[in-house]
Amino acid sequence: MVRSSHSATARSEHRGTTPVRTCVGCKKRAAAGELLRVVVQDGRLVADIRRRLPGRGAWLHPEPECLAKAERRRAFPRALRVPGVLDVAGVRQHLEKITVGMADRGTAPVRMDSRKQVDPS
């Protein structure tokens, strides 16, 4: 069997790259691991921490400023392709919990990526 060199090259270019997403609040691009995925469940926005919930997702920096910008611009219904107004209280509570926890510990924000690093040796 002969393989095309083009397909092998295309696969190797994508290996090891991280997905890039755009924050619906500030419109800045960032690695998916730095953003919070948000989905709609029963007309309410829900933070998808494990990134496993079904449905279309929107991405947001885990910062209250980006949430406020997204609300002001009505970005969630547009990004999630849902008519009407969405309840963002659940996402706001999640972000407050994160920022309060970081302030208590005096730490900087960490990546939202829940995958663990494995030592290759």
Residue 33 lies in a domain: yes
Q: What's the whole-number average pLDDT of the chain? A: 83
Q: At a CB cut-off of 8 Å and minimum separation 6, what does 73 contact?
A: 25
With cut-offs at 50, 70 and 90, classify the pLDDT of residue 31: very high
Task: Tell me which residue range forms the domain holding 71.
Answer: 18-105
Chain Cα centroid distance, residue 16: 19
* Three-class DSSP category at 40: strand
Between 109 and 56, the more confident residue is 56
- Average pLDDT for 46-54: 95
The tally of domains found in the chain comes to 1
Residue 119 lies in a domain: no
Kindly tell me if the per-residue pLDDT of 9 is higher than 50: no
Residue 92 lies in a domain: yes
Kindly tell me if the per-residue pLDDT of 25 is higher than 80: yes
Residue 116 lies in a domain: no
| Residue 74's CATH number | 3.30.1230.10
Contact 38, 60 (CB under 8 A): yes
Q: How far apart are the C-alpha atoms of 38 and 75, rounded to whole Å?
A: 12
Q: How far apart are the C-alpha atoms of 56 and 94, rounded to whole Å?
A: 19
